[in-house]
């Protein structure tokens, strides 16, 4: 898999032997003759015409990601939200219903629970750990089940094989946000999930310098997604596609190190007397660990934990950290923290209640020993 990430989809001969894929920063591509226009219009030839429809740099990225996610086709978007909303819109019509498993990223929640109401698309939120609850929430007009696994605040893991089976038995599509795991650690299509979406702004880009999204599915469902991309216009720029391509070259090395750093830090926090709970499915003591190892090949670096204190201690802890930067997003080199309560709307209908003392942490690629020392010192400060 490692070598595939680096070389798949790159044709050196086509690009004058360039070892790094070139950035085709062009909006449009010339036809050589009137006849070529005719041939293109009749569908007799395939060529690049306009970057919203396709671009050589973007195509290399799409080929690599389709291969990595074991899907037939991939399209790249200008953001993860572009990928998520276009995927959902490609499947629903007025009068349809969406079943969403709890704990999804807040803007995704907003889109499904509120925004889609204006198009008469309704939704129900269920606890994805309860397969019977999923079955009984399915209605005759349910069109799709949407989920994240692990989800990105509580890191609950859902049974992908069982959920895909339930969906197929009921003629329903499944869409998963696989941003946390990346295709390096999890391939949901192997378990029967229909559409995989990613925010490439996290681990795939990997350097906190690009916002991008990806959708991977079969050719048939991609026809609908292509239409959304063409009409809504959320296309990725060639330079952004190139940044993600550059990130992919080091994805295996980075993910291995995110995992080993995160595991050491999760263990440290788990044993700390001032930490009530660590939400990280990589820990053998985590309630989702067994299910997680049955469907994930590894664990990334995003987790959350609850401090044994109040608002005062939380503030002091976060402000005392020296190596962890206070910022949203995740998946880059730098370790980050953010108060969990600000990432979620207060009155979400999906029943997820976040502790006011929850800290979300993206473990980066710095020395794990230094990060642990920083956490240890900040915990001492907070509770002194």
Chain residues binding ligand PLP by CB under 6 A are 79-81, 105, 148, 152, 177, 179, 199, 201, 211, 213, 329
Residue 197 or 321: the one with the smaller Cβ distance to ligand PLP is 197
Chain residue at closest Cβ approach to ligand PLP: 80
* Closest separation in Å from C-beta 199 to ligand PLP: 3
Crossing angle of the two packed helices 251-271 and 238-249, in degrees rounded to 10: 70
* Closest separation in Å from C-beta 79 to ligand PLP: 3
Residues 6+ apart with CB under 8 A from 291: 157, 159
98: left (phi over 0), alpha (psi -120 to 50) or beta: beta
* Closest separation in Å from C-beta 78 to ligand PLP: 8
Residue 87 or 372: the one with the smaller Cβ distance to ligand PLP is 87
* Closest separation in Å from C-beta 326 to ligand PLP: 15
- φ and ψ at residue 123, rounded to 5 degrees: -150, 155
Residue 65 or 81: the one with the smaller Cβ distance to ligand PLP is 81
| Token couple for 345 | 């709307």
Residues belonging to the chain: 384
Residue 363 or 372: the one with the smaller Cβ distance to ligand PLP is 363
Task: Show contacts of 165-173: CB within 8 Å, 24+ apart.
Answer: 165/192, 166/131, 166/134, 166/135, 166/138, 167/192, 167/194, 168/192, 170/138, 170/142, 172/99, 172/138, 172/142, 172/143, 172/144, 172/145, 173/91, 173/143, 173/144, 173/145, 173/221
Kindly list the catalytic residues.
52, 105, 177, 202
């Amino acid at each position: 898999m490692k070598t595939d990430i680096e070389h798949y989809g790159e044709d050196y001969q086509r690009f004058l032997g360039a070892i790094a894929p070139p950035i085709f920063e062009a909006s449009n591509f010339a036809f050589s003759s009137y006849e070529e226009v005719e041939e293109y219009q009749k569908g007799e030839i395939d060529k690049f015409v306009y970057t919203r429809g396709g671009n050589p740099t973007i195509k290399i990225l799409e080929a690599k990601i389709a291969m990595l996610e074991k899907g037939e086709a991939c399209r790249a978007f200008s953001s993860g939200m572009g990928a998520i909303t276009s995927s959902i819109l490609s499947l629903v019509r007025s009068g349809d219903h969406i079943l969403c498993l709890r704990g999804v990223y807040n803007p995704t929640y907003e889109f499904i629970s509120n925004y889609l109401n204006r198009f008469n698309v309704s939704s129900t939120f269920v606890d994805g750990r309860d397969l019977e609850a999923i079955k009984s929430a399915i209605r005759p007009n349910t069109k799709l089940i949407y989920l994240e696994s692990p989800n990105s605040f509580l890191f609950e893991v859902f049974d992908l094989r069982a959920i895909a089976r339930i969906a197929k038995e009921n003629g329903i599509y499944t869409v998963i946000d696989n941003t946390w795991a990346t295709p390096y650690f999890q391939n949901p299509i192997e378990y029967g999930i229909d559409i995989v979406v990613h925010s490439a702004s996290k681990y795939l880009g990997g350097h906190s310098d690009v916002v991008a999204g990806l959708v991977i599915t079969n050719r048939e469902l991609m026809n609908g997604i292509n239409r959304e991309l063409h009409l809504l216009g959320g296309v990725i720029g060639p330079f952004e596609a190139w940044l993600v391509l550059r990130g992919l070259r080091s994805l295996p090395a980075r993910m291995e190190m995110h995992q080993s750093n995160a595991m050491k830090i999760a263990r440290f926090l788990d044993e700390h007397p001032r930490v009530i709970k660590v939400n990280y499915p990589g820990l053998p003591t985590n309630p989702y660990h067994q299910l997680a190892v049955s469907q994930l090949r590894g664990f990334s670096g995003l987790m959350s934990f609850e401090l044994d204190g109040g608002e005062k201690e939380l503030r002091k802890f976060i402000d005392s950290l020296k190596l962890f930067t206070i910022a949203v997003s995740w998946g880059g080199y730098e370790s980050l923290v953010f108060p969990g309560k600000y990432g979620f709307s207060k009155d979400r209908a999906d029943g997820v209640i976040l502790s006011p003392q929850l800290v979300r942490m993206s473990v980066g690629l710095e020395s794990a020993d230094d990060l642990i020392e920083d956490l240890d010192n900040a915990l001492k400060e907070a509770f002194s």
